[in-house]
């Protein structure tokens, strides 16, 4: 059994109350920090801990906090990105349901690190239960003196609000999310200026993912070295919530050290492949990552190892496919999502995602031609020139389909039908 950090208070059937959270050391980090640590020291500890953003981009959290200059104008904002819309990813919802005060404390600490006056939790509209839990627990934290004016007599004041997203995938992208919060069309914006310089209403704004923020109280309480030592591989730091779905016996969310092997996640924690199923491939980190095939079955699951192998850990939402899964059909399913969710701002993505979806549909339905393969590869390349990271993410499964499963695509074309359908 590995140490449980983010899930240490998790219960099978209900949320952790503020009393239970405090009995297990909750809000101690906040008390210590507000009493003994300057904002500079807090940022230093988070930096030393090498906390990488858990929302998919893996950007160093400490670096993000440090980019809010000391002399930056006030007010400053902290936004928690809880707009979890990546297909297959559900870890943030589970975290909020399990232990909402962990997130609230993480937000107050991150807010203090940049002297933000207000925090906003931007949440997916389908997560209405989670939003209500957070609103209720924010009130409770306020009554307990952890939020509001002059927190614990420190002179620092911070308030939290919950904001429901309009429900489009692109609202999870940082700059689009800021536009959405300001009531504008939520299309992405290329920096500079970066949100940490000019974000919400042109004020310095830090955006962090739910899981990233939940790590912060533990780092502040136990130190950077402790956090780094939680990981199994050199250079990685901390635990990770792996959400696993698909052809396994025990789908769900598991907190495991970064660097744990994929084979161990599937066989030990997720209960192995379902009866009669053989591992064929998985998406390691949500719909916008590349398929990992059998040759990667023993890979160490951390950000750097996957990057070195030409892959991405993303949100660590593992979708497992077995030998009976049609990879063309699975990829088509993902492309239907991406084509629908393209924000439509730029032509390569707006037109390209539709075009790829149509070609895959024709291949899957027996209307494919050999020329579609080079055509698909070409369009995928064009999508790397789209305005934001949505398009390269959308083509990741398609490109890896053509890399690892070109034979299967050809079978569809030659047989003029899906070979997996009887």
Which residues are near ligand SF4 by CB under 6 A? 170, 187-188, 342-346, 349-350, 386-388, 390-391
CB of 61 to ligand SF4, least distance (A): 24
CB of 342 to ligand SF4, least distance (A): 5
413-416: long-range contacts, CB 8 A cutoff, minimum separation 24 = 413/363, 413/368, 413/369, 413/370, 413/372, 413/373, 415/366, 416/366, 416/367, 416/368
| Cβ neighbours around 13 below 10 Å, total | 4
CB of 138 to ligand SF4, least distance (A): 31
CB of 392 to ligand SF4, least distance (A): 8
Segment (H or E) for 240: strand 239-246
Cα gap 264→350, rounded to integer Å = 39
Q: Give whichever of 87 and 259 is closer to ligand SF4, judged by the CB atom.
A: 87
347-to-128, 279, 342, 386 alpha-carbon distances in Å: 34, 37, 10, 8
Q: Give whichever of 170 and 273 is closer to ligand SF4, judged by the CB atom.
A: 170
CB of 86 to ligand SF4, least distance (A): 14
* Contact (Cβ atoms closer than 8 angstroms) between residue 406 and residue 417: no
| Cβ neighbours around 347 below 10 Å, total | 11
Using CB positions, name the residue nearest to ligand SF4: 349
Q: Which of 270, 289, 251, 298 is nearest to 395 (CA)?
A: 289
Q: Check residue 69 and report its DSSP letter.
A: -
Beta bridge partners of 255: 241
Q: Give whichever of 242 and 345 is closer to ligand SF4, judged by the CB atom.
A: 345
Q: Give whichever of 5 and 398 is closer to ligand SF4, judged by the CB atom.
A: 398
Q: Give whichever of 170 and 335 is closer to ligand SF4, judged by the CB atom.
A: 170
Q: Give whichever of 266 and 356 is closer to ligand SF4, judged by the CB atom.
A: 356
* Contact (Cβ atoms closer than 8 angstroms) between residue 404 and residue 290: no
CB of 340 to ligand SF4, least distance (A): 12
Residues 6+ apart with CB under 8 A from 229: none
Three-state SS for 317?
Answer: strand
Q: Give whichever of 277 and 342 is closer to ligand SF4, judged by the CB atom.
A: 342
């Amino acid at each position: 059994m590995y140490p449980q950090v983010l899930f240490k208070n998790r219960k099978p059937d209900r949320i952790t109350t503020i009393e239970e959270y405090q009995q297990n050391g909750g809000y101690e980090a906040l008390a210590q920090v507000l009493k003994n640590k300057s904002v500079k020291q807090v940022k230093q500890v988070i930096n030393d801990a090498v906390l990488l953003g858990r929302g998919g981009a893996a950007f160093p959290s400490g670096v993000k906090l440090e980019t809010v200059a000391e002399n930056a104008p006030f007010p400053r904002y902290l936004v928690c990105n809880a707009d979890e819309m990546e297909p297959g990813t559900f870890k943030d919802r589970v975290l909020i349901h399990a232990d909402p005060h962990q997130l609230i404390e993480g937000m107050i600490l991150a807010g203090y690190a940049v002297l933000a006056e207000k925090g906003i939790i931007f949440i997916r509209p389908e997560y209405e239960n989670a939003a209500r839990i957070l609103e209720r627990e924010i009130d409770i934290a306020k009554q307990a003196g952890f939020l509001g004016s002059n927190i614990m007599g420190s002179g620092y004041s911070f308030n939290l609000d919950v904001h429901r997203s309009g429900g489009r995938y692109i609202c999870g992208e940082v700059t689009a999310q800021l536009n959405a919060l300001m009531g504008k069309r939520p299309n992405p914006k290329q920096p500079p200026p970066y949100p940490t310089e000019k974000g919400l209403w042109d004020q310095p704004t830090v955006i962090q993912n739910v899981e990233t923020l939940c790590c912060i109280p533990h780092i502040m309480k136990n130190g950077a070295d402790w956090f780094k030592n939680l990981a199994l591989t050199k250079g990685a730091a901390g635990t990770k919530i792996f959400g696993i779905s698909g052809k396994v016996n025990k789908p769900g969310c598991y907190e495991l050290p970064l660097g744990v092997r994929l084979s161990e996640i599937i066989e030990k924690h997720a209960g192995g492949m379902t009866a009669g199923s053989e591992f064929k491939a998985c998406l390691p980190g949500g719909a916008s990552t590349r398929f990992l095939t059998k040759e990667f079955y023993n890979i160490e699951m951390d950000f750097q190892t996957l990057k070195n192998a030409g892959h991405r850990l993303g949100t660590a939402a593992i979708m497992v496919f077995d030998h009976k899964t049609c990879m063309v059909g699975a990829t088509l399913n993902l492309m239907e999502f991406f084509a629908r969710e393209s924000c439509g701002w730029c032509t390569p993505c707006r037109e390209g995602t539709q075009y790829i979806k149509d070609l895959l549909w024709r291949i899957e339905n027996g209307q494919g031609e050999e020329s579609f393969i080079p055509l698909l590869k070409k369009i995928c390349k064009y999508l790397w020139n789209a305005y934001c990271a949505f398009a390269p993410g959308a083509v990741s499964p398609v490109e890896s389909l053509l890399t690892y499963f070109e034979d299967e695509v050809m079978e569809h074309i030659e047989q003029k039908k899906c070979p997996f359908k009887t």
